[in-house]
Amino acid sequence: MNLRRDVFQAIADPTRRAILLLVASQSLTAGAIAANFDTARPTVSKHLQILTECELLEQKQSGREIHYHINAKKMKAIADFIEPFRQMWDDRFNKLETIMKEFMPIAIGTKK
């Protein structure tokens, strides 16, 4: 098992970002978090495990239930949120490049 996971890798996934957003306002149980997604429960559990491993989420025992809450300190460590924004544009531009490379043979001869 990978114990030291990269924070940016953790937040690269849209479901995990959504989980962080959900838990941002209140601590929730794994079941309550999973109820917000169409994804299978084990998949959500896996995401929770990754987020916990990189310390973005913390677990707190409350009676018989385990609540997940956000680790504000760690969240702050993500340099003012630029990386996910950069990643979003990088994905977009990668797609542009791929599409236009496929389009290139067609484009020859139809140049404006």
Partner 1 sequence: MEMKTKVHAEEGKQDLTITREFDLPVELLFRAYAEPELIEQWMGNKVLKFEAKKYGGWHFEKKDDKGNIVFEADGVIHEFIPNQKITRTFEMYKTPFGVQLEVTAFEKLTDETSKVNMHVIYESAEQRDLVLKLPFAQGINWAHNRIQELLSKLK
Residues of this chain that interact with partner 1 (CB under 8 A) are 11, 14-15, 17-18, 20-22, 24-25, 80-82, 84-90, 92-97, 99-101, 103-104, 107, 111-112
Question: Under DSSP, is residue 61 helix (H, G, I), strand (E, B) or coil?
Answer: strand
Question: Under DSSP, is residue 26 helix (H, G, I), strand (E, B) or coil?
Answer: coil
Nearest-approach distance from CB 92 to partner 1, in angstroms = 6
Nearer to partner 1 by Cβ, of 65 and 97: the residue is: 97
- Joined together, the tokens standing for residue 24 give 């941002």
Nearer to partner 1 by Cβ, of 66 and 78: the residue is: 78
C-alpha distances out from residue 76 to 68, 72, 80, 109, Å: 18, 6, 7, 52
Nearest-approach distance from CB 25 to partner 1, in angstroms = 6
Nearest-approach distance from CB 60 to partner 1, in angstroms = 20
Rg (alpha carbons) of the chain, rounded to whole number: 19
Nearer to partner 1 by Cβ, of 30 and 56: the residue is: 56
Nearer to partner 1 by Cβ, of 1 and 82: the residue is: 82
Residues 6+ apart with CB under 8 A from 11: 17, 20, 56, 78, 83, 84
How far is Cα 55 from Cα 70, in angstroms, rounded to an integer?
A: 9
Nearest-approach distance from CB 89 to partner 1, in angstroms = 5
